[in-house]
Amino acid sequence: MLNRREFLKYGGSFAIISILPSCAEATTKRPFLNLLPEQKEIEIGRSYVPYAIEEFDGLYPDREVQNYVKGVGLILTKVAERRLPYEFYVVNSSQVNAFALPGGPVMITRGLLLRLNSESELANVLAHELGHLNARHHARFLEKQFGLSLLLNIGALLLADKPYGQALLQFGQIGAGLLSLKFSREQEREADQYGLLYAYKAGYDPMGMIKVFEMFKAMEKGERAPEWLSTHPLPETRMAEAKRMIETLRPTGQFITDTQDFQVAKEKLLKTKPSFDEFDKGEKAFAKKDYSQASRHFQRAIELYPENYTARAYMAYILAMEG
């Protein structure tokens, strides 16, 4: 039986079997062999949403914070080229990260939100992930991995009535790659270009992205680099190029830098941080099978914030084992 991480890793491998002839990409306007129809891309992304949420410690349990981030994201989608069913989620991980899944889902961690200082910074982070989606970077990854020969091999496996588990083990690496997709410098430059333009068109100060970059660089010099940098390379040249892009936009007039709504959302996050800090300690103890220590941290997390449902789930699991 597959465990949670194995299921996440292998679960969506058979969603991609349709093939279309060559066409031009809607956003980049350059010829590209689109093996993956847009509807299939959307279906793949949707299928991975629950596993991605679980992998990043569930959804942050405050509806107002979720709705606020979704609202900022939907403002940005109005100026994006691809008409995808975009969705925005705040996941409850303490990691400093944001990512997208094929076809529209965008996720930002509680840990990254806590590091941001303004709505323009949030908007630029979300716009950057929309840039990856509009440049079809996730779709290209899938097309590269599921080339024509691999698609035919999958079909042959199905026709041969191979065991489902065996097929998953042979072709399931693709699913894991969606959550740890490492972008090239060219892809990052392209996502920067789209993201800065989207933020600008939506009325946000594009310098918010530079401030985010500076925050990441400062963290990189500390004890632990943010997880975002493991998939989004940030050389000094990229920051310089982003600044040049902003100069070409010639931003003038009034831009949204910050709002009261952002500060209210961040205050909520700050109030729950002690609870989730305790949860992180408990999770580390749990991984070491020190269930007594883990229980103490989880119990403290629940006392600090009763809606810490992930801590409650771990506590229930430990109690079931002890019972």
More confident of the two residues 166 and 130: 130
Q: Are residues 40 and 118 in the same domain?
A: yes
| Token pair listed for 312 | 């409650």
Which pLDDT score, from 0 to 100, does residue 26 have? 44
Does one domain contain both 74 and 201?
yes
Would you say residue 264 lies in a domain?
Answer: no
**Max avg pLDDT among 6-15, 24-33, 117-126:** 117-126
More confident residue, 13 or 129: 129
Q: 169 and 285 in one domain?
A: no
| Same domain membership, residue 154 and residue 51 | yes
Give yes or no: 129 in active site: yes
- How many domains is the chain partitioned into structurally? 2
* pLDDT score of 222: 65
Q: Are 12 and 48 in contact (CB under 8 A)?
A: yes
Q: Which helix (H) or strand (E) holds 7?
A: helix 4-10
Residue 266 in domain: no
Query: Mean pLDDT across the stretch 288-313?
Result: 95
Query: Catalytic residue among 87, 121, 129, 283, which?
Result: 129
Confidence of residue 15 (pLDDT cuts 50, 70, 90): very low
Residue 228 has pLDDT above 60, yes or no: no
The larger pLDDT score, comparing residue 166 to residue 276, is at 276
The verdict on residue 208 lying in a domain is: yes
Confidence tier at 216 by pLDDT (50, 70, 90): confident
Please indicate, yes or no, if residue 80 is contained in any of the structural domains. Answer: yes
**Same-domain check for residues 216 and 165:** yes
Single out the residue in 212, 232, 258 at which a domain terminates: 258
Q: Choose between 44 and 312: higher pLDDT.
A: 312
Residue 269 lies in a domain: no
Residue 178: closest CA among 65, 56, 90, 74: 56
| Total Cβ atoms within 10 A of residue 229 | 15
The pLDDT assigned to 147 comes to 61
Percent of the chain with pLDDT over 90: 49
CA 4 to chain CA mean position, Å? 18
Q: How confident is the model at residue 110 (pLDDT cuts 50, 70, 90)?
A: very high
211 & 311 share domain: no
- In this prediction, what percent of the chain has a pLDDT beyond 70? 72
DSSP assignment of 161-180: T--HHHHHHHHTHHHHHHHS
Is a pLDDT exceeding 80 seen at residue 27?
no
114 compared with 213, residue with greater pLDDT: 114
Does 252 share its domain with 278?
A: no
pTM comes to 0.79
Whether 263 is covered by a domain: the verdict is: no
pLDDT, averaged across the chain:
79
**Who contacts 90 (Cβ-Cβ below 8 Å, separation ≥6)?**
59, 60, 65, 66, 69, 107, 108, 109, 110, 113
Q: What's residue 98's pLDDT?
A: 93
Output the CA–CA distances (angstroms, integers) from residue 78 to 64, 87, 249, 286, in the order listed: 22, 13, 19, 44
Q: Is 262 helix (H, G, I), strand (E, B) or coil?
A: helix
Instruction: Give the residue from 230, 258, 286 where a domain finishes.
Output: 258
Q: Indicate whether 197 and 284 sit together in one domain.
A: no
Please check whether residue 301 lies inside any domain of the structure.
yes
Residue 39: its pLDDT value, please? 85
Instruction: Return the higher-pLDDT residue of 26 and 97.
Output: 97
227 in the same domain as 318: no
Q: Is there a domain that residue 267 lies in?
A: no
151 vs 40, higher pLDDT: 40
Final residue before a domain boundary, out of 258, 283, 308: 258
Phi and psi torsions of 41, nearest 5°: -60, -45
Average pLDDT in the 140-160 region? Answer: 56
Same domain, 205 and 300: no
pLDDT in tens, 152-175: 444 444 444 444 334 333 444 555
pLDDT at 166: 42
Whether residue 29 has pLDDT greater than 60: no
Q: Could you give the CA distance from residue 87 to residue 121 in angstroms, rounded to a whole number?
A: 19
Question: Which pLDDT value is given to residue 45?
Answer: 85
Range of the domain at 19: 4-258
Q: Which of 2-16, 149-163, 188-202 has the lowest mean pLDDT?
A: 2-16
Is residue 233 domain-shared with residue 284, that is, in the same domain?
no
pLDDT digits (tens, 9 = 90+) for 61-102: 999 999 999 999 999 999 999 999 999 999 999 999 999 998
Same-domain status, 312 and 247 = no
Contact 225, 238 (CB under 8 A): no
